[in-house]
Amino acid sequence: MAVLFPDIQPSSRRFAPPRWPTSRQRSQSGVVSLRLWGSKPANGELSLGFNNIRDALAGQIVDVYGSAKGDLFEVQLPDSIFAGATGSLLTSLQALTQQGLRWYFKENDPPSVESVRPGISTVRVNLSLELRVN
Amino acid sequence: MSLLTGRNGEMRFEGVRIAKCREFSIQVDRDALDCSVLGSSDREYTEGMRGATGSATVLYDEDDPTTIDLVNSIFSDSNGGRQIALILNTTTNRGLSFKALTTQVGTPVRVGDVTACSINFQVTGPFDGGF
């Protein structure tokens, strides 16, 4: 099951690409050897900030977290989440899910909602890009 | 054209006119909350919280209990502020009314000068009326 994230453009976005599963050994002589344990990278991170948005939109984000049962179900991100990214960065961001990776809410990290004034809130969302066995 | 001057103005404290108010001013501010989004080149804002501060200078008149009450309101620890009205036009009663906390009172006394008190206040809560 997948849940669709609301079609809102974020005010800020921070992305860390998925990491390759490697292990590192350093010998007594100082020589480093690395071993690759998989054919795909995983565990990317995406932090989104929605500054001063209407409470109705903030509620939609909270509802998505509930529908996704926390970090259990996949969250599908609309193109608006990547607004402002262009060129090869946009291509890279959109291609992530074509490699079998899926977005989920970060474990034990629900959206945080800061009420700014009546009707206006600031929401922070942290997502994790994971490779899961269905 | 009907321009107003200081002669048309009046300051009221708890609904009673201050006998000898030399001047008053008020500055109403409103926060502009940035709600710009990625993908846009222009900043966008939405209304934030509103607040106001003001000041007044009143002549120290011992025979006017309202003036004395206003000046001594700095020593009051009552919660919620006291009612102040700044009337721009006494004929139409147009002006701002609000509750305010007195935040500063100063009384310089000089040889050859009338003793006057400068008062600063912080508005608390909503406004009645308008400019």
Tokens 């909270």 appear where?
A: A62
Question: Which spans in B12-125 are helix H?
Answer: 65-71
How sure is the predictor about A7, in pLDDT bands with cuts at 50, 70 and 90?
A: very high
3-state secondary structure of B41: coil
Give the 3-state secondary structure of A69-112. Answer: CCCCCEEECCHHHHCCCCHHHHHHHHHHHHHCCEEEECCCCCCE
- Kindly report the CA angle at B46 between B42 and B50, in degrees rounded to 5? 135
Task: Give residue B19's pLDDT band: very low, low, confident or very high (50, 70, 90).
Answer: very high
Mutate: best of B38, B40, B41, B44, partner A, most A CBs <10 A: B38
Q: C-alpha angle with apex B14: B11 to B16, nearest 5 degrees? A: 55
A13 - beta bridge partners?
A48
Please give the tally of structural domains in chain A.
1
Confidence of residue A50 (pLDDT cuts 50, 70, 90): very high
A1 within 8 A of A73, measured Cβ to Cβ: yes
Going by pLDDT thresholds of 50, 70 and 90, the confidence category of residue A26 is: very high
The stretch B43-67 carries a mean pLDDT of: 95
Q: Which residues of A touch B46 (CB under 8 A)?
A: 52, 120
Query: Of A63, A52, A56, A57, whose CA–CA distance to A4 is shortest?
Result: A63
* CB-based contacts of A123, cutoff 8 Å, min separation 6: A49, A50, A53, A58, A61, A111, A112, A113, A114
Q: Are A125 and A47 in contact (CB under 8 A)?
A: yes
Range of the domain at A71: 2-130
Chain A neighbors of B36, CB-CB under 8 A? 11, 51
> Shortest CA distance to B70 belongs to which of B101, B109, B46, B91?
B101
User: Which tokens belong to A38?
Assistant: 């998989």
Residues 12-51 of B with CB under 8 A from A: 33-40, 46-49
**What's the pTM value of the predicted model, to 2 decimals?**
0.79
d(CA A81, CA B118): 54
The count of other CB atoms within 10 Å of the CB of residue B31 is 14
Residue of chain A nearest B50, judged by CA positions: A117
> For position A134, what pLDDT does the model report?
65
CA–CA gap between residue A7 and residue A85 (Å, rounded): 16
